């Protein structure tokens, strides 16, 4: 087992100023359904969930099946689960990962996602010792681009025809890739 996974297991809960990043549970089914059944929230990041059972199934397959590096985003003030964030596609040999996230649209424009992403970068480089962290988003997702830029990731490239749209399978998506290396994080220009 990789040292990276041991470090991830040692930090199942991460705190930031206004948020708690904690393991997702089946108790989060209603809150996740609120996110993933809303077209505005889910259109760039997830298939639309049409039932609580769809949301529960997603929690089990995405968060409970392999929980290391997978977090629910909970607002400290209210205790409400308002989103999710995770280290995806972890390569323990190269110590790289992709950070994926989604946030309930009722919590947009409050700086929560930027706070979350900066916290994931901080823990990723300082505690988990990743060499490189990447974020990928649909080119049309302007809000995600703003979050990524505020968080300090650097543009890499665009990948036209990288996948089909989550909502409209007839539509092709251009994904945009941003990355930050440990050298860039510890020695910013």
pLDDT tens digits along 91-132: 999 999 999 999 999 999 999 999 999 999 999 999 999 999
Q: In total, how many domains does the chain have?
A: 1
For the chain, helix, strand, coil in percent to 5 are 35, 30, 30
Within 10 A of 5 (CB to CB), how many other CB atoms are there? 14
Domain span at residue 139?
3-186
Give the pLDDT confidence of 131-180 residue by residue, as tens digits.
999 999 989 889 999 999 999 999 999 888 878 777 778 888 888 999 99
pTM given for the model: 0.89
- From CA 138, how far away is CA 116, in angstroms rounded? 19
Both structure tokens of 105: 């649209």
Residue with tokens 């990948």: 159
| Reported confidence tier of residue 187, pLDDT bands at 50, 70, 90 | very high
Q: 10-16 contacts: CB < 8 A, separation 24 or more?
A: 11/123, 11/127, 11/128, 12/67, 14/71, 14/119, 14/120, 14/123, 16/115, 16/116, 16/118, 16/119
Give Cα separations from 100 to 44, 54, 148, 188 (angstroms).
11, 20, 11, 23
CATH number at 169 reads: 3.40.630.30
């Amino acid at each position: 087992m990789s040292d990276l996974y041991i470090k991830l297991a040692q930090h199942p809960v991460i705190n930031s100023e206004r948020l708690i990043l904690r393991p997702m549970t089946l108790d989060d089914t209603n809150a996740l359904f609120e996110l993933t059944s809303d077209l505005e929230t889910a259109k760039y990041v997830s298939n639309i969930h049409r039932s609580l059972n769809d949301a529960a199934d997603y929690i089990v397959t995405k968060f409970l099946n392999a929980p290391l590096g997978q977090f629910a985003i909970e607002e400290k003030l209210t205790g409400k689960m308002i989103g999710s964030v995770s280290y995806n596609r972890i390569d323990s040999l190269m110590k790289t990962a992709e950070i994926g996230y989604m946030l309930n649209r009722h919590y947009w424009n409050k700086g929560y996602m930027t706070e979350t992403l900066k916290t994931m970068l901080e823990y990723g480089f300082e505690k988990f010792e990743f060499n490189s962290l990447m974020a990928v988003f649909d080119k049309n997702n302007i809000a995600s681009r703003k979050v990524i830029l505020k968080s300090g990731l650097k543009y890499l490239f665009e990948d036209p025809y990288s996948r089909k749209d989550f909502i409209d399978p007839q539509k092709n998506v251009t994904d945009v890739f941003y990355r930050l290396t440990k050298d860039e994080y510890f020695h910013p220009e």
